[in-house]
Amino acid sequence: MRLSHHFGKTLRQVPAEAETPSHQLLLRAGLVQQLAAGIYSYLPLGWRVLRKIEQIIREEMDAAGGEELMLPALHPIEIWDASGRLPLFGETVFTLSDRRQRGLVLGPTHEEIIADLFKRHVQSYRDLPLMPYQIQVKFRDEARPRGGLIRVREFTMKDLYSFDVDEEGLDESCQKMIRAYKNIFDRCGLPTIVVEADSGAIGGKDSWEFVFPCDSGEDEAVICSACDYAANAEKAEFSKPAVPQDPPQPLEEVSTPGIKAIDDLCAFLGIAPWQTLKAVFYAADGQPAFVAIRGDMEVNETKLRNALGAVDLHMMDNIELEQAGLVAGYASPVGLKRVKVVADDAVPCSPNLVGGANKPDAHQRNLNYDRDWTAEIVTDIALAREGDACPRCGSPLTIRRVIEMGHVFKLGTLYSEKLDATFLDRDGVAKPVVMGSYGIGTGRLLAAILEASHDEQGIIWPPQLAPYDTHLVALSVDRPDVVQASERLYEELQQTGISVLYDDREESPGVKFNDADLLGMPLRLTVSPRTLEKESVELKRRSEKESTLVALSEAVARLQELLKQS
């Protein structure tokens, strides 16, 4: 491609809206153009890279037994009503209606559609397992798009769905996908880690995320500093510090005028946070819930939401508290009625805690679980924090910002039961098919690659993803000998299958070199009067500082050799 006819130009200055490195590079190099919040056009260079990413994904999916197909983006709303998932997605689903006022959904994901397809085409266990996949656009009205391509509202995604006869088959399919994902991220040159994850609105039992640690990430992962434990912050567990198992002491009320927060309470009574019981009121789908956790921990709202089986969950505000007749700051689980009580699993084994007395300006000492109160639900609802102990090995956990690039879900029979996607098994009994779902966001992957591979000057494309193999720079294009040599190289390189971005513009050397660095092709060839004096051309790798002179007659062969190596 000739730069003189290339659509998309480089920017010297960084647009004000871009803060993260990948966002800045996307705009400065002319890879994408924003149309609205979270909605982007891909310009030719960005599109070429995206297609290369997709190709790598295709190859690995096919190698793992996948088969590509194409599903609609526009879905009748009835299929979403049938799965009951609309409320889970809530406002993130784009909905519209057609001319006859029939409801439609711009698909945010395709489990419903693929399950429906399965139902119509598969009847027997003999047809299983199946692994269809699609690479196509999906829509989610995210509350806050961010970071360029990190989180957008219209995005391209690869989703593969596995259909198996049983859990064992699902395990196998899932392992295949995990291997394929590792290959994909390796081939993209991206160091990723696999973390245990919460499955969120997609549902199902087990799920793992493939994440790339990076300060611009939209997500947080908890990673052990010693062993290989890693989990999404929503899911992360930790080993909770044990406390002395003193014998229960008698309940005792203490006056604590104006003391509400745990810190104040500890200072006032001269005790440590782990000796207190923190009470938080939540509204779970409109129902009040009393949440009890030891004062040295915080509530993980995802865990709590899962424990309560709630869709909407938020801390109750003062108005809601008043309406429910509850007192914030001095709440106690003792004698509480008509309110569901949830306790963190560290609470029952922590004796003699200090908690509220259910009246203003007073607390109770020596609260003991079982003796004084019980909870409907006792489970882990604590948030893992930096420095907490790893649940596997006890070493300190670290928290890192990450970009979530891929997510695999063991769905089980969640969708097949709701949508009646069954097969006839060997024993002649109709059974719901066991599903898995495996997604990769391609645009996000592109952003992650930019985050991982750039310097002050610009992009350094991994050779396998670069939009072009080589950047050919002609200096002094008013000189016929330069033009002639450059044009010949341009032709010869392309004839041998090497893709070339050819800077044939009338620009100064500085402009051309800076653009070449910004655009980041792996190899740069420079033709100038100076090199032609020596019947040669200058060759430089983007990743290195030094350049070498290569005889004109050997340039094509030399490039072929270099590209073969990479």
Partner RNA sequence: CGGGGUGUAGCUCAGCCAGGUUAGAGCGCGUGGUUUGGGACCACGAGGUCGGCGGUUCAAAUCCGCCCACCCCGACCA
Residues 168-227 that bind RNA (CB under 7 A): 197, 199-202, 207, 218-219
Pick one of 7, 99, 101, 143: the residue that binds RNA (CB under 7 A).
143
The yes or no reply on residue 83 touching RNA (CB under 7 A) is no
Q: Which residue has 């990743």 as its token pair?
A: 543
C-alpha span between 175 and 515 (Å, rounded): 43
Q: Which residue has 């655009």 as its token pair?
A: 519
SS3 469: coil
| Contacts of RNA in 345-364 (CB under 7 A) | none
Pick one of 2, 4, 11, 166: the residue that binds RNA (CB under 7 A).
11
**Smallest gap from residue 147 Cβ to RNA (A):** 5
Pairing of strands 277-284, 287-294: antiparallel
322: how many CB neighbours lie within 10 A of its CB?
A: 12
**Smallest gap from residue 513 Cβ to RNA (A):** 3
Tell how far CA 349 is from the center of its chain.
Answer: 36
Q: Which is nearer to RNA, 253 or 386 (CB)?
A: 386
| Contacts of RNA in 308-337 (CB under 7 A) | 313-314
Q: Which is nearer to RNA, 181 or 373 (CB)?
A: 181
**Smallest gap from residue 44 Cβ to RNA (A):** 17
Nearest Cα neighbor of 24 from 513, 447, 467 is 447
Q: Tokens standing for 64?
A: 């793992």
Pick one of 134, 275, 306, 531: the residue that binds RNA (CB under 7 A).
531
| Contacts of RNA in 404-433 (CB under 7 A) | 404, 407, 409
The yes or no reply on residue 451 touching RNA (CB under 7 A) is no
Pick one of 187, 260, 431, 530: the residue that binds RNA (CB under 7 A).
530
Pick one of 439, 462, 467, 522: the residue that binds RNA (CB under 7 A).
439
334 burial via Cβ count (<10 Å: 0-12, 13-18, 19+)? middle
C-alpha span between 52 and 426 (Å, rounded): 42
Stretch that binds RNA, among 134-142, 337-345, 384-392, 555-563 (CB under 7 A): 134-142
**Smallest gap from residue 458 Cβ to RNA (A):** 7
Pairing of strands 353-356, 313-315: unpaired
The yes or no reply on residue 13 touching RNA (CB under 7 A) is yes
| Contacts of RNA in 387-406 (CB under 7 A) | 404
Pick one of 89, 125, 274, 415: the residue that binds RNA (CB under 7 A).
89
Q: Count the site residues for RNA by CB under 7 A.
A: 73
SS3 87: helix
C-alpha span between 492 and 39 (Å, rounded): 39
Pick one of 12, 120, 338, 426: the residue that binds RNA (CB under 7 A).
12
The yes or no reply on residue 467 touching RNA (CB under 7 A) is no
The yes or no reply on residue 283 touching RNA (CB under 7 A) is no
**Smallest gap from residue 98 Cβ to RNA (A):** 24
Q: Which is nearer to RNA, 165 or 414 (CB)?
A: 414
Pick one of 2, 17, 44, 186: the residue that binds RNA (CB under 7 A).
17
Contacts of 557 (CB under 8 A, 6+ apart): none
Residue environment code for 380-404, b if the CB has 16+ CB neighbours within 10 A, otherwise e: bbbbbeeebbbbeeeeebbbbebbb
Q: Tokens standing for 330?
A: 């001095």
429: how many CB neighbours lie within 10 A of its CB?
A: 9
160 burial via Cβ count (<10 Å: 0-12, 13-18, 19+)? buried
**Smallest gap from residue 57 Cβ to RNA (A):** 12
